[in-house]
Amino acid sequence: ERRQQKEQGRMEALRPLQERLMADDLPTQLEAAHELRTMLDGPHPPALSDVLHADLDIAPRLLQLSQQADNHDLHVELLLALKLLTSGAAEQTRSLVDLGAVDIFERLLASPDAGVRELAVTILGNIAGASVELRNNVIGSGVANDVMKMLAPVQKTDAIKYYDEAAKEWKFRGGTPEQPTALVRKSAQCLRQLCQGQPAPDFGAAHEQLVHTLSTLVMSSDDEVVLHACAAMSQLQYAVPGHLAVLVKDGVCVRLLELLGHSSSVCSEEVRSHAALTLERIAGSGSQGQEVIIQSCEKVLKEGDGKDGKATLKRFVEMVNHAGVRDKVKAMLLCSVIRF
């Protein structure tokens, strides 16, 4: 009984805020949304279970307003609050999903406002990352296709290698993102969250397009995008010839091999680990996958041979040994060095 009284007291403390959210005038709605977001993001936030309690109707009102808000400031405050509300336990996040949150945020991916798109894709990633059940719910709604469509401008130019005369080294050139960098990062993170978890997700007909999208993202010069793309790729299967064809055409295996030596950021160890795991996945797909890796390995060695063959071989061997590649794939890569 005492516990119920405490819970009731906490809810009553939120009642004035709930009443202001229910108001019809914009200034009051904006003030209430800002107050809620500040409370949730503050040093002593209210329990998410209290804010999401059905008796208060705060969550349904936030979702309702997020669909209707024409005012940019109000829209952002609402979405920031909802982002925080989807950062809790799976059970709490599920309560928002049961109110139709996934469909609402999926529609917001088409917003003309890049900031709104970024928050929407972040929230969808939060939902997908909460549990396998919710991940499957998000995938089933078609969010992966919408995120890939949003990133489509990144894919207009095929990712290819080019020789940088000034730097005297080979580099990768991907398509030029038309989306803001922050949005591309959050989109890559969302795709990563959609790919994670066991049992592995089923993307159906979208699987090949997903491989292509991630292959483009992994060519990015942005370390955070590369990390998320590598992490997502390391969770996929590559048993279908079409998937391997994408990896060959776009030079992705070459990129993954070079990422085994990634050392330009604080997330380098993670990048190396995910790149190694992706190569293992490709090798595990069968003889075709193994041949793709061997050919890519030889390409890396040949392109570096023009500068200093011995140094290239030594650096490649050190890179493979340092990256944590498992024995089977390591043997395959080192055999390529011997054959070369």
pLDDT of residue 124: 98
DSSP 224-262: HHHHHHHHHHTTS---SHHHHHHHHHTTHHHHHHHHTT-
Q: What is the mean pLDDT of residues 187-205?
A: 95
Task: Please say whether the beta carbons of 326 and 278 come within 8 A.
Answer: no
Going by DSSP bridges, is the β-strand pair 169-173/160-164 parallel, antiparallel, or unpaired?
Answer: antiparallel
**Of 259 and 29, the one with more pLDDT:** 29
Residue 303 has pLDDT above 50, yes or no: yes
The tens digit of pLDDT for each residue in 136-159 reads: 999 999 999 999 999 875 444 444
Question: What's the whole-number average pLDDT of the chain?
Answer: 83
How far apart (Å, rounded) are the C-alpha atoms in residues 279 and 233? 9
What pLDDT band is residue 327 in, cutting at 50, 70 and 90? low
SS percent in the chain: helix, strand, coil, step 5: 70, 5, 25
Cβ-based neighbour number of residue 314 at 10 Å: 12
Summarised one tens digit per residue, pLDDT across range 36-55 is 999 999 998 998 999 998 88
Other CB atoms within 10 A of residue 135 CB: 20
Collapsed DSSP state (helix, strand, coil) of residue 174:
coil
Task: Tell me which H or E stretch contains 161.
Answer: strand 160-164
CA distance 189 to 177: 16
Q: Domain limits of the chain?
A: 289-340
Q: Per-residue pLDDT tens for 90-138?
A: 999 999 999 999 999 999 999 999 999 999 999 999 999 999 999 999 9
b/e per residue 254-269 (b: at least 16 CB within 10 A): bbbbbbbbbeeeebbe
The whole-number pLDDT of residue 328 equals 57
Examine the pLDDT at 160 and tell me if it is beyond 90: no
% residues pLDDT > 90 (the chain): 49
Does residue 165 carry a pLDDT above 90?
Answer: no
> What type of residue is 59?
A
Q: DSSP readout, 92-118?
A: HHHHHHTTTHHHHHHHHTT-S-HHHHH
Would you say 193 and 135 are in contact if contact means Cβ atoms under 8 Å apart? Answer: yes
Q: Which two tokens stand for residue 197?
A: 């978890």
pLDDT at 262: 74
Query: Are residues 71 and 115 in contact, defined by beta-carbon separation less than 8 angstroms?
Result: no
